[in-house]
Amino acid sequence: MTDFSDILETARRAQRNRPTTGELAKIFLRYHDAVLARQSELLDVIQKETGKARGHAFDEVLDVAITSRHYAHIAAKTLKTRRKKGALPVLTRTVVERDPVGVVGIISPWNYPLSLTMSDAIPALLAGNAVVLKPDSKTPETALLAAEMLFEAGLPRDLFQVVPGSGATVGQAIAHNCDYLMFTGSTATGRKLGAIAGERLIGYSAELGGKNPLIVDESADLAKAAEVAAQACFANSGQLCISIERIYVHRAIAQEFTEAFVKRTQEMKVGVGGWEYDMGILISEEHATKVHEFVEDAVAKGARVLAGGIPPEGRLYQPTILVDVPEDARVKREEVFGPLVYLETVDSMDEAVARANDTDYGLNASVVAKPSVARRIASRLHAGTVNINEGFAAAWASIDAPMGGWKASGLGRRHGVEGLLKFTESRTVAEQRLVLISGGKIVERETYAQVMSTALKLGRKFL
Ligand code: NAD
């Protein structure tokens, strides 16, 4: 690694000389076109680094194109100086201005190496910052190619530096030097980085782990429920922070739903290659072994396997469904981050909601039910996103709305205006006209108190 202080100095210089918001917006619209036009190059490198199915790699291309277009369109109007209600009507003119924080540090994981690097870099850059990005050590090439395409679209190189390396070296250097830290990864690392951000008093966003529930009500369309569940649990081989790892199904339809879901799961085509595969292989043999250990532990404690559950063949792990998982099995509460889900039967939606919320996490949840029922259930779930009649894609792709985690699933939000404004500092400028707020020497203190009290009482009545 080049000396980190050089990287930082280069970033600061580039940030001071950055293009205007309007110029950046044009660059990101060109980037939108470039990632779509050159998608096969991106898909190849994503697949080479992760082993995911081509269809799931394409989700990343879509995501980056959508994010580029969205923030390119909203950046200028979201960042512009805004009038606010002043302290005293007419006499106080108050505005809020926005400045970029400076250098945003991004530390990202391996599971979505295009999405989870670029989709935070895009709003950070559009907000006027420089970005220093550390991709995961397993997936640096995707980030480097994505950056190259951005330079070709017109972004000055020094404004966006991709620095591959380990968490212990590059990750720590970023955390100790950046002006805002954007982290996506495990809850354990998120806590450590949060401590550094807290000590340094810099802004920090953490998109962390999940143990996401899916609730299937008796009003659900069964074929749809089985399809939603298969997508929600096994997309990207379950290596997805918002993927479903536990399902609560109403007793009235439990048997039929289970049969349909097991059948759908067993039909999935798993392997490495082109568009025909429903699910790819896992990131490493080590990770496949870890996933299987969750199954072995649960089975040893009394769980039954309804699909999959066989030892991995290298990095290939079959999509797996468990039932009768006892309370002390590790899979019950720990995040697996693989193609493994367990099913439980519930007698009511109250019970389903209580069990869904009984977790340290709160990232994503899903409900399959008649829409009127599903909406009532959704509003009771403790999660940053809830998808109705979808697993995770509806909320994730609703880029205008915030997304992130409750409880141990994170801090702060990406997407929406939140995902742009967090990379800025606000400055409230309040201009007082004619009289001072305190009355000054013009008005006696007692008179001032009387006038203000009357004004407040009137305000209470009319405003
Ligand atoms: P991880 O925390 O081990 O690593 C993530 C990144 O942090 C990597 O780039 C790594 O090099 C870096 N890192 C690790 N230790 C570090 C340290 N001490 N200092 C600085 N940087 C450090 O996570 P992982 O296991 O690679 O990724 C999987 C986890 O990420 C899962 O828990 C998953 O749920 C979570 N995740 C969350 C989201 C989300 O949006 N909420 C998205 C994807 C993945």
Active site residue 207: yes
Checking if the pLDDT of 157 tops 80, the result is yes
Q: Is any ligand 1 atom within 6 A of the Cβ of residue 239?
A: no
Tokens of 440: 């000054």
Task: With a cut of 80, say whether residue 422 has pLDDT above it.
Answer: yes
As a whole number of angstroms, the distance between CA 170 and CA 164 comes to 7
Nearest residue by C-alpha to atom 17 in ligand 1 = 167
For residue 237, the CA-to-ligand 1 centroid distance in Å is 17
Contact indicator for 206, 183 with CB cutoff of 8 Å: yes
Residue 438: is it exposed, middle or buried by C-beta count within 10 angstroms (0-12/13-18/19+)?
Answer: exposed
**Cα–Cα dist 293/331, whole Å:** 9
Average pLDDT over residues 280-285: 98
Q: Where in the chain is the domain with CATH 3.40.605.10?
A: 4-208+413-424
pLDDT, position 19 = 98
212-401 folds as Aldehyde Dehydrogenase; Chain A, domain 2 (3.40.309)
Give me ligand 1 centre to Cα 107, in Å.
8
The predicted-structure confidence for 437-455, as pLDDT tens digits, reads as follows 877 777 788 888 898 899 8
For residue 404, which phi and psi values (nearest 5 degrees)?
A: 170, -170
pLDDT reading at 1 higher than 70: no
SS3 assignment, position 134: strand
Q: Find out whether the beta carbon of 283 lies less than 6 Å from any atom of ligand 1.
A: no
- pLDDT tens by residue, 163-204: 999 999 999 999 999 999 999 999 999 999 999 999 999 999
DSSP 279: B
For 338-404, the DSSP string reads SSEEEEEEESSHHHHHHHHH-SS--SEEEEES-HHHHHHHHTT--SSEEEESSSSHHHHH-TTS-B-
Confidence band, pLDDT 50/70/90 cuts, at residue 460: confident
Q: In angstroms, rounded to a whole number, what is the distance separating the alpha carbons of residues 80 and 392? A: 32
pTM of full prediction above 0.85: yes
The pLDDT of 151-162, averaged and rounded, is 98
Cα(9) to centroid(ligand 1), Å: 26
pLDDT of 444 reads 85
pLDDT at 435 over 90: no
Q: Is 108 in the pocket of ligand 1 (CB under 6 A)?
A: yes
As a whole number, the mean pLDDT across the chain is 97
Say how many Å lie between the CA of residue 187 and the centre of ligand 1. 8
Ligand 1 pocket member 192 (CB < 6 A): yes
Distance 192 CA to ligand 1 centre (A): 11
Pocket test for ligand 1, best of 56, 107, 174 (most atoms within 8 A of CB): 107
Tell me the per-residue pLDDT of 322-335, one tens digit each, with 9 for 90 and over: 999 999 999 999 99
The pick from 186, 208, 411 for probing ligand 1's pocket by mutation, whose C-beta has the most ligand atoms within 8 angstroms, reads 186
Tell whether ligand 1 has an atom less than 6 A from the beta carbon of residue 145: no
Alpha-carbon distance 457 to 4, whole Å?
58
Kindly state if the Cβ of 109 falls inside 6 Å of ligand 1.
Answer: yes
Average pLDDT over every residue of 374-398: 98
**Do 232 and 392 contact (CB within 8 A), yes or no?**
yes
202 φ/ψ sector (left φ>0, alpha ψ -120 to 50, else beta): beta
- Among residues of the chain, what percentage have pLDDT more than 90? 93
Is the CB–ligand 1 distance for residue 335 below 6 Å? yes
CB of 241 closer than 6 angstroms to any ligand 1 atom: yes
Q: Where in the chain is the domain with CATH 3.40.309.10?
A: 212-401
Within 10 Å of residue 274's Cβ, how many Cβ atoms?
11
Task: Using the predicted structure, report yes or no on whether residue 134 has a pLDDT greater than 90.
Answer: yes
> What pLDDT is attached to residue 41?
98
Instruction: Assess whether the C-beta atom of 209 lies below 6 angstroms from ligand 1.
Output: yes
Q: Is 362 in the pocket of ligand 1 (CB under 6 A)?
A: no
Q: Which residue's CA lies nearest to atom 22 of ligand 1? A: 167
Of ligand 1's listed atoms, the one at least distance from the Cα of 112 is: 43
Cα–Cα–Cα angle for 100, 414, 149, nearest 5°?
75
The rounded percent of the chain whose pLDDT value lies above 70 is 99
State the CATH class of domain 4-208+413-424.
alpha beta
CA 235/CA 53 separation, integer angstroms? 9
Residue from 49, 207, 245, 335 carrying the catalytic annotation: 207
CA of 375 to the centre of ligand 1 (A): 32
pLDDT greater than 80 at residue 269: yes
